[in-house]
Amino acid sequence: MISKLKSIKSHCVIFETEWTNPNCVDPLQEPHRMVCVECDPRAQLNHKKGKCTGQGVLKQSTPWNLLHTKHCFGRWSKTQSKSNCRCDVDHPDLPRYIFV
């Protein structure tokens, strides 16, 4: 499994928030906020073509939720996807999250 992990590259997905539950206290709460979500190699192990569950469809509204709080959820639209990318390096100006 370790050798397989080394061969898988992270990639970034940029989303624009559309709606967030008002009980969410997070940067995701701001409407039309761009965020970077990284698809880590560990989250890609059981998926074909290097995708993560929940990474959405380009320009379509899809649901999201944060794991650390049941009250933080909403909708966003995928605006772009970039291979061999890390949010902290390639998009340091955007709030960063990770797919699990």
Task: Report the distance separating Cα 96 and Cα 72, nearest Å.
Answer: 15
State the residue range of the domain holding 87.
Answer: 2-98
Return the pLDDT at 52: 75
Return the pLDDT at 88: 94
Return the pLDDT at 15: 94
Return the pLDDT at 17: 92
Return the pLDDT at 47: 66
Which one, of 21, 32, 17, 34, lies nearest residue 73 by Cα? 21
For the chain, the domain total comes to 1
Return the pLDDT at 39: 85
- Measured on CA atoms in the order 57, 43, 95, 83, is the torsion positive or negative? negative
Return the pLDDT at 30: 78
Provide the residue-wise pLDDT of the chain in tens; the chain has 100 residues.
Answer: 555 555 667 789 999 999 999 888 777 777 789 999 998 777 776 666 667 777 778 899 999 988 888 788 999 999 998 888 899 999 999 999 888 7
The token pair at 47 is 């998926």
